[in-house]
Structure formats: C-alpha cells, structure tokens
Amino acid sequence: MDPTAEPLLRPPCRELADDGVTVWRVELDQPAEVASALVSTLSADEVARARRLRFRIHRQRFEIGRGALRSIISSCTGVDPAGVRFSYGPRGKPGMVGLHFNVAHTGGLALVALSASGPVGVDLERHRALLERAAIASRYFTPNERRLIEAAGTSGGDRLFVTYWARKEAVLKATGNGLWAPLDSVDVSSPRDVDGWKIADLDVSPDHAAALATAIDAGPVEWSEWRPDVFHTISRVGGEGART
C-alpha cells in the first residue's frame, strides 16, 4: 500500500473524550465508484443484505452507509474498516465491544452517533405531511404532546409530530430493545432528561428532525462530516470492489 495514503485512511476522529459524543453526517448519494470501494470493506452478510435490495439506489445507500460506518469506527479505533466486527442485539441493534454507536438514515442522508461512555440512540426523520396524524398520536403521544401538536395547525403540527417522534425513537434506539416506558406516558415536548436518558435535538437541516439520546452524564456533542474522498484513495491504492 502506498504509505502516503495511510493518513487518509485514518481521518482524524473527533476527540472521543471519556464522556464525549460525536455525530457524523454522511451523504449517502455518492458516485458509484465510492460504493464499489466501500463494498470491499463490508462483511459477507452485509454484502448479501445489499444484494437482496431490489433497487440500485437502496443498495448503494446501504453500501455507503455501512462502509462509512466502518470507516468512521476505524478512524476512532485504528481497527481496519474490514476488520470491524459487529454483533447484533436481540432486536437487531448493531454494536461492538468497546464503543457505543447508533445509526439513522432517511433518503440520502445518514447520521452516525459514537460514544465511548455509554449507549447512544439517534433518529433522523424527514418532515412531511401526515395523513393519519391524530390516530398515530393517540397511540404514542401524551395528552400534552397531542394538545401542542393540534394547537400548531396543519403543517406546524406535522413538524412537531415528527420532532417528538424523533425524540422518542432516539431513546428507543438507545435502549436497543424498544423496552422503554409506554411511549404515551413519557412527555418529550421539550428535549430534556427522561427516564435516565438525555434527549437533544440535532440541527441537521430545515427538512429534517433529528434527535440524540445519551446517558444523562454524557458530555457535549461534536459534529463531524464523513468525506468520501478518503475512499477514492482506498480504491486507488488497491482496494478490490466485491461487486462489478
């Protein structure tokens, strides 16, 4: 391997201080050669999962999301991207020894939250018009949340609904097993500490709601941007695409 490429294979990981949390923003719509380079870092089960996806765009987004996740973990741990081993919780939450992380994606955007100190959950939702808002809200939201949503009108209420949803889902994803207090008993109308979790909104874009759930004593959140140019380097220095 070209030694000059080595630093690019290890982009600087934001300081994962003992209590720190880093959220990486990943653009999933990348040139096909980026996906091809990243496929070479995926495990056999990940490649098989990608192949099962019917549409090319979904396949590529999955490959880039998983490949980016591996490269981010690699940058923080020094383990080669292809050498990162995931285990899966009873409800499918990916994890690994020594590092807590969680992923959310919608459309062409993904977020990867990393923490050295404790479980994290992240959720990302696109703001959209909701046809069955009241029915779903009656199942998952507290009376106070429902009142605030209805008072915000049609589009304001839709935005509030999606914001609350992201906050609740972030906590569900932090637990990994969905076991949390009944969702309609926990009020998340302001981002705050709930049941041992600290919930924070993430400012991703005007089109998205995003939330992060961490341990109460987690430190400040740092942002980072995943850069695909790193992987052009991987392919240039001899990474083999597993797919032609």
Ligand X SMILES: CC(C)(COP(=O)(O)OP(=O)(O)OC[C@H]1O[C@@H](n2cnc3c(N)ncnc32)[C@H](O)[C@@H]1OP(=O)(O)O)[C@@H](O)C(=O)NCCC(=O)NCCS
Please report, as ranges, the residues that interact with ligand X according to CB under 6 A: 65, 89, 91-94, 102-105, 123, 140, 165, 168-169, 172-173, 176, 178, 183
Long-range contacts of residues 155-161, Cβ cutoff 8 Å, at least 24 apart:
155/129, 157/133, 158/127, 158/128, 158/129, 158/130, 158/133, 159/127, 159/209, 161/130, 161/133, 161/136, 161/137
Residue among 158 and 169 whose Cβ is closer to ligand X: 169
* CB of residue 1 to ligand X, shortest distance in Å: 28
* CB of residue 94 to ligand X, shortest distance in Å: 5
CA 185/CA 171 separation, integer angstroms = 14
* CB of residue 190 to ligand X, shortest distance in Å: 16
Instruction: Copy the structure tokens of residue 110.
Output: 């993904």
Instruction: Copy the structure tokens of residue 7.
Output: 């630093």
Residue among 65 and 239 whose Cβ is closer to ligand X: 65
Question: Token pair 């992201």 is at which residue?
Answer: 166
Residue among 1 and 177 whose Cβ is closer to ligand X: 177
CA 214/CA 200 separation, integer angstroms = 8
* CB of residue 165 to ligand X, shortest distance in Å: 5
φ, ψ of residue 225 in degrees (nearest 5): -120, 125
Instruction: Copy the structure tokens of residue 202.
Output: 């993430």
Residue among 140 and 187 whose Cβ is closer to ligand X: 140
CA 59/CA 52 separation, integer angstroms = 8
* CB of residue 86 to ligand X, shortest distance in Å: 9
Residue among 13 and 166 whose Cβ is closer to ligand X: 166
Residue pair 59/53 in contact by the 8 Å Cβ criterion: yes
Residue among 51 and 236 whose Cβ is closer to ligand X: 51
Residue among 170 and 234 whose Cβ is closer to ligand X: 170
φ, ψ of residue 110 in degrees (nearest 5): -135, 155
Pairing of strands 21-27, 221-225: parallel
* CB of residue 31 to ligand X, shortest distance in Å: 20
* CB of residue 90 to ligand X, shortest distance in Å: 8
